[in-house]
Chains A and B, each alone.
Chain A
C-alpha cells in the first residue's frame, strides 16, 4: 500500500468557548482516493478539514505528504492541500475572476505572467474559461463553484478538500460538478450531506459523531448503519 498523503493521529481541538470539536481523530487519505466525510451538523467535519492546511491547530499530529502541519511548513502545506469552501462568495474576493484565480499562484511567488497562464489553464480545466474578466458577483452559483475550484487548482495541489460542494447548486449544476471532480486526479476529501453525491464520488466514507470518527466503510454501509437518509 502506498504511503498516505494525509495522516492524522489523535487530533483534538477545543474552541475558545470550551466546545470540544474534535476528540481524538485518526485518519488516513491515500493517493487518488476520494473519501466522503459524513455526520450531523456540529459533529466536527468542517473543523477537521480546517486542520488539514493549518487554518486551525489542534493537539497531536497532522502530516501532509510527509510534512508535519506546523508554522514553518504552512506555505508548502497550503500549496499541497487545496480547500474549496462551502460558501463560494467567501472564496471569491477579488474584483475579477482572473485576479481571483491568480491570487494563489501570486502568493506562491510566480510572476504575474506565469500566474495569468496558470489561472487561464485552471479555468479551462474547470470549464469556466469564458468568465475570465467577469466579476464574481455576476456569476451563478454553479459558475462560482467552478471558479472557486479553479482558484484552488491554480495552486496545483496534491489533495482537494471540498466542504459541502453541492450547496446552492441545482441538479444540473451538481451533475456538472460531479463530472468535473471525477476528471481531477487528486486525492479528495468531500464533506457532504448529499448521499447521492457521496455515493457517486466517494470510494469510501467515514462517519463523524461528537468529534470522533464513529465508523468507516462504504457510503451505503454507513447510510444504513446510521439511518442517514432523508426519506
Chain B
C-alpha cells in the first residue's frame, strides 16, 4: 500500500500538481470509507477495516491524478470505449460545456445584485432574494437548453448523437499503459515474496 501511495505521489509531483492540495482533496472520501471501516472493525475483521479507507483514499488519489492531467473529452472517450452508458457521458459532456457558462451568468447576476445593494437585510430576506435569483437562473438555463436543442436540430440532429472518434493509440500511450500495469504488478509480486 505504501508503495502505491508513493507511486501516486511521485506521479502527482511529476505532473507538477500541488501535492498537499491533491492529498487533502483525496481525503474527502475518508469520512465515508471510515463508516464502513467501523462496521468491519465491529464485525471483527481488522485487516479489512484498515484496507477500506486506505484503498478508497488511494483510488481517489488515482482518480484526481487522471482528472487533473487528462482533458475531459479524452476521459469521456475512454469511458465510452470502456462501455460506460452513452446517455450518462452525454450529460457529463453538456454539463462540462455549459457549467462555466451558467456559472458566468450567476456571477453576472450576483454582480448586478451587488450594484443595487446586494442581498441585504436579514437572513430571511437574503434567503428569499437568493431563492429568487436561483429561480431566474433555472429559467435562463432552461431557455438556453431550448436554444441549444434548436441549434442541434438546425444542423440535422435527429435524436442520435454521432461523434467523431479522433482518439488514436500512440507509442507513448502504449509505453504509459505498460508502465502503469507493470509497476503496480512488480509491487504486488515483491510484496508476495
Judge: A and B partners, yes or no.
yes
Q: Does residue B163 face the partner (Cβ distance < 8 Å to A)?
A: yes
| Distance between A112 CB and nearest chain B CB, rounded to angstroms | 5
Interface of B is mostly: helix
Name which residue of chain A comes closest to B99, CB basis.
A137
Which of A50, A53, A137, A151 lies in contact with B101, CB distance below 8 A? Answer: A137
Closest chain A residue, CB of each to CB of B77: A95
Partner of B158, one of A75, A89, A93, A136: A75
A82, A95, A107, A108: the one within 8 Å of B93 (CB): A95
A197 interface residue per 8 A CB criterion: no
A50 touches B150 (CB 8 A): yes
Q: What residues on B are CB-neighbors of A16 within 8 Å? A: none
Residue contact A108 to B151, C-beta cutoff 8 Å: no
The digit string for B82-113, where 1 denotes a CB below 8 A from any CB of A, is: 00000000000110111011000000000000
Residues of B within 8 A of A151 (CB): 155
Say yes or no for A94: interface residue by CB 8 A criterion: yes
Alpha-carbon separation in the docked complex, A128 to B34 (Å): 52
Q: Is the CB of A95 within 8 A of B144?
A: no
A99 touches B101 (CB 8 A): no
Neighbouring A residues of B97 by C-beta, 8 Å: 93-95, 135-137
**Which chain A residues border B166 with CB–CB below 8 Å?**
98-99, 112, 116
B152 at the interface (CB under 8 A from A): yes
Does B120 reach chain A (CB closer than 8 Å)? no
Contacts of A108 in B (CB 8 A): 156
Q: Are B162 and A107 in contact (CB under 8 A)?
A: yes
Q: Using Cβ atoms and an 8 Å threshold, which residues of chain B touch A94?
A: 93, 97
Cβ–Cβ contact A93 & B94, under 8 A: yes
- Interface flag for B154 (CB, 8 Å): yes
Query: Which residue of chain A is the closest to B158 with respect to CB atoms?
Result: A107
* Size bracket, chain B contacts: 20 to 34
Interface centre among A75, A95, A99 (most CB of B within 10 A): A95
Q: List chain A residues, Cβ under 8 A from B155.
A: 78, 103-104, 107, 151-152, 155
A104-122: CB near B (< 8 Å → 1, else 0) gives 1011100010011000000
Question: Does any Cβ of A come within 8 Å of B32's Cβ?
Answer: no
For A108, the closest partner residue in chain B by CB is B156
Contact assessment for B153 and A78 in the assembled complex, using a CB-CB cutoff below 8 Å: yes
Known: A89-B101, A90-B144, A107-B155. A102 touches B164 (CB 8 A): yes
A–B Cβ pairs within 8 angstroms, 12 of them: A55-B150, A83-B154, A89-B101, A90-B144, A93-B94, A93-B148, A99-B73, A99-B166, A106-B162, A106-B163, A112-B166, A116-B164
